[in-house]
Amino acid sequence: MKYMILLTVLLTSGCSPSKVDELKASAVIADRYDRSDFNFKSYKPSTSIGFYTNQPCDFINIDHVVSLKDAYESGGSAWSDSKKETFANDRANHVPSCGRVNSSKGSAEPSDFLRRSRDGKGLDYEIVRFCSYIKKYLAVKEKYQLSFFGNSTVTFAACGAVINLQKKP
């Protein structure tokens, strides 16, 4: 959106339409999420118990409670490379997760993650620590001043948490 405003200003101030189209293509490419921009350094969890399910896992890995894509889309796109790396490697945003659960969660925000855990469209699992997850998610979003725009207030309220949806990324 910010690039479209800039391009509109350029066009109305006399920049040629072909130059604006060239800049538009560059702006769209420059404003795409790329996981590698966060420079996450993975590590081996110290447990074989998944945080979300509280069950032993055949394969366990580190999950970002607030995914890198979620962070990017809720304000992190404007961060410096250094801040992106700090966020990606902040252990307060990490939990051990069963590999299949982590893959199912993907970059989903909490209400989508909860829905995916029981939608009958593949891997079903029970999230037994959902409110602990919500509290961690809330703490990380607040720590990094990320927007909750697009999150469900009902999901957070079920765990006694209140979020402000007014701040857009």
pLDDT in tens, 84-136: 999 999 999 999 999 999 998 999 999 999 888 877 665 678 899 999 999 99
Q: State the burial class of residue 141 (Cβ atoms within 10 Å of its Cβ: 0-12, 13-18, 19+).
A: buried
Domain match, 65 and 130 both: yes
Domain match, 22 and 50 both: no
Given this model, what pLDDT does residue 21 score? 54
d(CA 24, CA 8): 10
Domain match, 75 and 107 both: yes
Domain match, 70 and 98 both: yes
d(CA 137, CA 145): 12
168, part of any domain: no
Domain match, 13 and 69 both: no
Domain match, 19 and 84 both: no
Average pLDDT on 60-64 reads 96
162, part of any domain: no
All residues at 6 or more sequence positions from 56 whose CB lies less than 8 Å from its CB, including other chains? 48, 49, 50
The two tokens of residue 12 are 């109305």
Domain match, 61 and 6 both: no
* Host domain of residue 12: 1-32
Lowest mean pLDDT among 26-40, 51-65, 127-141: 26-40
63, part of any domain: yes
- CA torsion, ordered 89, 142, 83, 102, to nearest 10 deg: 30
Domain match, 134 and 153 both: yes
d(CA 90, CA 31): 24
92, part of any domain: yes
The two tokens of residue 126 are 């029970």
Domain match, 118 and 83 both: yes
167, part of any domain: no
136, part of any domain: yes
Q: State the burial class of residue 158 (Cβ atoms within 10 Å of its Cβ: 0-12, 13-18, 19+).
A: middle
164 confidence band (pLDDT: 50, 70, 90): confident
14, part of any domain: yes
What b/e sequence results for 116-131 when a residue is b if at least 16 CB atoms lie within 10 Å of its CB, and e otherwise?
bbeeeeeeebebebbe
